[in-house]
Amino acid sequence: MERHTTLGEFIIQNQKDFPYAKGELSSLLSAIRLAGKMVNQEINKAGLAEIRGKAGQENVQGESQAKLDVLANDMFISTLKDRGEICGLASEELEDFLVFNEEKHKNANYVVLIDPLDGSSNIDVDITVGTIFSIYRRISPVGTPVTLEDFLQPGINQVAAGYLIYGTSTMLVYTTGNGTHGFTFDPGIGSFFLSHPHMKHSESGRIYSINEGNYVHFPQGIKKFIRWTQELNEEENRPFTSRYIGSLVADFHRNMLLGGVYLYPTGTTSPKGKLRLLYECNPMAFLAEQAGGKASDGYGRVMERIPTELHERAPFYCGCKTEVEKIEWFLNEEKTN
């Protein structure tokens, strides 16, 4: 039986891609792996442990927090802080970023931005959820407290990004700028094993993922794109398939494996888009581009947007290049008319 490479082995083997990191980035990814295993365990027993349902409070976005939102947030913060490789962390669940000032953090070079539990509204009905993370090198002087500017960097400055998907199997997918790679968790052994090396988007797909319940609020360009997907294709003589889970991680993961495009446009209910630029759009864009796909805000590369606030929202179109470019074409046509 062929022995698969573990995540830890893969990280060590590829440390040469970051000679300046001195093992810090590898240790940081290992901490994310550990926290993901802990969250996965809690999700699997959520019904028995009475940690389903709402926590009775709202996050900074004004959204009701699930109990597991709070639990996952606490687990990732404590695990990442313990390692000492980061000087600060920003979470979708917290109003402000955290500054880590203990002695072991004094020489840390990295900050992490995280969505601890993407799609948490699906928890109570046992539908796939995930964790999204993004890692940057700090730009403030080492040895000083981390600043807001360390977090408000464009996506092109990311040194690593990825997600954990908690579904029928648990996977960790990440990139450090040298391809997108997926690792599947073996609960019997307790390790992640390389199962999807060099994941790739197809040039074009047959799936589109959007919450069509908001159709009336969509820009005309997006409405035209949806109508275009519903037309009979000349080659296959069938329209696109609509698939929308309501968890960005789950929709993105399926579309990367099967070929598709994800859309979350602006609208009257979300005038700037709904997804968070720093916690969702940028890390997923990095993964998509490293897998040969494309990510756009409708008019340009989303990773080139300059953030102005910690919880900034943005429209997001991500997946196979052909369909993302078609979306841009429809939106630009609307803009010029």
Known binding-site positions for Mg(2+): 92, 115, 117-118, 280
> Which three-class secondary structure state does DSSP give residue 147?
coil
What is the C-alpha separation between 59 and 57, in angstroms, rounded?
Answer: 7
Binding residues for substrate are: 118-121, 211, 244, 262-264, 274
State how far the Cα of 45 lies from the Cα of 130, in Å rounded to an integer: 16
**Residue type at position 72:** A
Q: Provide DSSP, 229-256.
A: HTSPPTTTSS-PEE---S-HHHHHHHHH
- Which three-class secondary structure state does DSSP give residue 64? strand
Q: Identify the helix (H) or strand (E) that includes residue 158.
A: strand 158-166
| Residues 96 and 310 sit within 8 Å (Cβ to Cβ) | yes
Which residues line the annotated binding site? 92, 115, 117-121, 211, 244, 262-264, 274, 280
Instruction: Name the DSSP letter for residue 141.
Output: P
